[in-house]
């Protein structure tokens, strides 16, 4: 069994990792405000353009995995919602449960893609494109 590689330290520390996640998770027009909310200094206009380009590059790395991520997100979301609601699901009704499941699915799918993209960009995670198709 091979060892699981450690996540390498970001070249400029934890703040760079956090900033990358913000750029990858949010609409880019909202990223600077979120960085400020998190107590970070947002980049200037040139830095914003570079952060935007870097984000698109990272997310493109995980793009071939969109279908498996969507499938897993749907399954995991259904399991989570049923586990969280239990018997209360019957009282809430099918439509509410479906809406909750759909919302979880969207957040989970986006989060998985961002996490996978950042692990790939860090060189921790790779995939064989032939097995993904």
What pLDDT, in 10s, does the model give residues 41-97? 999 999 999 999 999 999 999 999 999 999 999 999 999 999 999 999 999 999 999
Q: How many CA atoms, within 13 angstroms, populate the side-chain half-sphere of residue 87?
A: 0
Q: Nearest 5 degrees, angle CA 97-CA 26-CA 108?
A: 35
Q: Model's pTM, two decimal places?
A: 0.81
> What are the extents of the domains in the chain?
14-132
User: Which residue in 105, 121, 127, 103 sits closest to 21, CA to CA?
Assistant: 121
């Amino acid at each position: 069994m091979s060892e699981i590689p450690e996540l390498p330290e970001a070249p400029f520390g934890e703040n760079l990792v956090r900033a990358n996640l913000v750029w990858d998770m949010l609409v880019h027009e909202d990223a600077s405000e979120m960085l400020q909310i998190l107590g970070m200094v947002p980049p200037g206009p040139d830095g914003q353009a570079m952060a935007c380009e870097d984000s698109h590059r990272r997310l493109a790395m995980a793009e071939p995995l969109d279908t498996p991520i969507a499938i897993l997100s749907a399954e995991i979301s259904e399991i989570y919602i049923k586990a969280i609601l239990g018997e209360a699901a019957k009282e809430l009704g099918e439509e509410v449960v479906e809406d909750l499941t759909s919302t979880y699915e969207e957040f989970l799918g986006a989060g998985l893609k961002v996490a996978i993209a950042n692990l790939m960009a860090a060189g921790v995670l790779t995939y064989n494109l032939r097995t993904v198709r």
